[in-house]
């Protein structure tokens, strides 16, 4: 049993909750408790019951403490990193009025387009928020709710993001952080505050929103008696503001603040995301210009269709996810749930180039290639926005940090290597979101800078794979198909 203080970092993602029981001094991961979530909906709808997130957090913490053999009295702090953008509406007692609309719910695509136009176009939004509304963003979901379920919107006594909801259950305090708030499209990265003009545009009373802490590591409150009883933890321990999942992963990698800057990260999970910590406020229509948890910036591009989409193709073909080989002439764009980058919310999957000689393994390989191409093209857009040339040898020689569940898959890793032509760094730590949250919890409990904490822990260290020659033929083939697909891909929704 450890003698040093312990913190708990919570990763509340789309599919599950993980609770990382972590030695606060060394960063040693003592145990990870897990509990699943339920996601429902079809036809673009994706919803979850926030109460299930709370129950999953309780179960994950209990499982983690039991596996670690940790005396709960050793725990000094807790922080939550959550899936971004989800819309949680609460009544006056803090209970959900309806299931949360998740980040990958694309029903609000028409509202995104209408809001963009109503506020003067993309440039006006970039100047305020650093991002242009897409269906993922919380403001578009709130507008959808106002139009489709006005009674629920009118009854809302509080509006929260997923991680805000859980932080409030822990501390009794309505608080968020700049990183997660910047994904709402009603928070201004230019001013570091909620934007009154944008709140007026979507008819949202700022009194319904949580206060924005200075950073994700700020101690916003203490664990309440009720939460302590539910979790089996000491009452009064530090509760950090927490942040969104990608911002927490950046902390876990030691990015931002006094840590590494402009080092790109590719995350292969339910979604595929690319991001980098910068001190320059980004403003590109191709990116989400998020804030980081610690006061720097975290420009990010996100694709909806990544590991789950490829797993679906594998299941349709009756193959294991590793039963793949390069796609040959086949091109498969696995846009099974619409797409965010490129902004094609009405997209469906597209398969072309199939011949008599095409094998099932090649079709699965083509799905990998289509997903990886989409993520890497988003990375190129991020680099350009940061003032870097993606083709510059010096830029291309910098390793890509590859994280997420896909980073543990051989075919995912090799497809990224082959289509990027860049060296790859795979961190040894597999729970970077939860460990980033643990660093935020340590900061809340001790006052230490969380990026410095994570750097000291070494959670960003890993094995580096050398670059291989880029498969320009595959890249060009996919690029040509995407450019020519037009209405076939979008169903007329360009």
CA distance 379 to 395: 12
CA distance 483 to 154: 43
The pLDDT tens digits for 285-339 are 878 889 999 878 898 888 989 999 999 999 999 999 999 999 999 999 999 988 8
User: Is 195 assigned a catalytic role?
Assistant: no
User: Does the structure show a pLDDT above 60 at 494?
Assistant: no
- If you average pLDDT over residues 393-397, what whole number do you get? 87
Rounded mean pLDDT of the chain?
93
CB atoms closer than 10 angstroms to residue 423: 16
pTM assigned to the model: 0.87
Asked whether the beta carbons of 100 and 162 are under 8 A apart, the reply is yes
User: Does the structure show a pLDDT above 60 at 490?
Assistant: no
pLDDT on residue 487: 54
The pLDDT tens digits for 351-374 are 999 999 999 999 999 999 999 999
pLDDT on residue 2: 45
Q: Which of 105, 195, 245, 449 is catalytic?
A: 245
The pLDDT tens digits for 36-95 are 999 999 989 999 999 999 999 999 999 999 999 999 999 999 999 999 999 999 999 999
Domains of the chain: 6-248 (3.30.420.40)
Positive or negative, the CA dihedral 317, 321, 323, 326 is positive
User: Does the structure show a pLDDT above 60 at 350?
Assistant: yes
CA distance 445 to 237: 8
Residue 139 to residues 7, 125, 143, 195, 294, Cα–Cα distance (Å): 33, 12, 6, 12, 23
- If you average pLDDT over residues 108-132, what whole number do you get? 95
Taking each helix axis from N to C terminus, what angle separates 245-252 and 450-457, rounded to the nearest 10 degrees?
50
For 47-56, 296-305, 436-445, 457-466, which range has the lowest pLDDT when averaged over its residues? 296-305
| 219 against 489, higher pLDDT | 219
CA distance 65 to 18: 12
pLDDT on residue 157: 98
- Annotated binding residue 85: yes
Q: How confident is the model at residue 493 (pLDDT cuts 50, 70, 90)?
A: very low
| 261 against 417, higher pLDDT | 417
CB atoms closer than 10 angstroms to residue 356: 4
pLDDT on residue 256: 76
């Amino acid at each position: 049993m450890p003698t040093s203080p312990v913190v708990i970092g919570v990763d509340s993602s789309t599919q599950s909750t993980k609770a990382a029981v972590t030695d606060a001094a060394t960063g040693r991961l003592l145990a990870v408790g897990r509990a699943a979530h339920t996601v429902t909906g079809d036809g673009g709808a994706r919803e979850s019951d926030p109460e299930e997130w709370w129950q999953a957090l309780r179960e994950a913490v209990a499982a983690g403490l039991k596996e670690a053999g940790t005396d709960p009295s050793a725990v000094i702090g807790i922080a939550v990193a959550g899936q971004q953008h989800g819309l949680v509406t609460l009544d006056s007692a803090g209970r959900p009025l309806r299931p949360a609309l998740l980040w990958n719910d694309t029903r609000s695509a028409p509202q995104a387009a209408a809001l963009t136009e109503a506020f003067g176009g993309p440039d006006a939004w970039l100047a305020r928020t650093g991002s242009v509304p897409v269906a993922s963003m919380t403001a578009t979901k709130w507008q959808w709710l106002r139009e489709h379920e006005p009674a629920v919107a009118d009854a809302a006594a509080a509006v929260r993001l997923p991680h805000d909801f859980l932080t409030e259950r822990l501390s009794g305090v309505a608080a968020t952080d700049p990183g997660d708030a910047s994904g709402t499209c009603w928070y201004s990265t230019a001013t570091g505050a909620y934007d009154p003009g944008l709140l007026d545009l979507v008819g949202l009373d700022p009194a319904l929103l949580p206060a924005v802490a200075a950073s994700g590591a700020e101690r916003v409150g203490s664990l309440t008696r009720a939460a302590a009883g539910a979790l089996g933890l000491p009452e009064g321990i530090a509760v950090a503001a927490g942040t969104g999942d990608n911002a927490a992963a950046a902390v876990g990698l030691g990015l931002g603040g006094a840590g590494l800057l402009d080092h790109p990260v590719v995350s292969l999970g339910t979604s595929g995301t690319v991001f980098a910590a910068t001190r320059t406020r980004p403003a590109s229509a191709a990116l989400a210009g998020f804030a980081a948890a610690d006061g720097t910036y975290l420009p990010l591009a996100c694709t909806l269709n990544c590991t789950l989409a490829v797993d679906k193709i594998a299941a349709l073909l009756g193959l294991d996810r590793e039963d793949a080989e390069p796609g040959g002439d086949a091109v498969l764009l696995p846009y099974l749930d619409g797409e965010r980058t490129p902004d094609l919310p009405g997209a469906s999957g597209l398969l072309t180039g199939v011949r008599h000689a095409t094998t099932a393994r090649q079709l699965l390989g083509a799905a990998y290639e289509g997903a990886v191409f989409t993520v890497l093209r988003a990375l190129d857009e991020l680099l350009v926005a940061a003032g870097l040339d993606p083709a510059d040898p010096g830029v291309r020689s910098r390793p890509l940090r590859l994280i997420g569940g896909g980073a543990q898959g051989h075919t995912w890793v090799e497809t990224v290597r082959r289509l990027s032509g860049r060296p790859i760094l795979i961190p040894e730590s597999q729970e970077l979101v939860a460990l980033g949250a643990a660093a935020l919890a340590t900061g809340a409990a001790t006052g230490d800078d969380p990026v410095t904490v994570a750097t000291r822990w070494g959670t960003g260290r890993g094995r580096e794979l050398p670059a291989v020659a880029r498969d320009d033929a595959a890249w060009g083939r996919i690029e040509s198909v995407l450019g020519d697909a037009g209405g076939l891909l979008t169903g007329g929704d360009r």
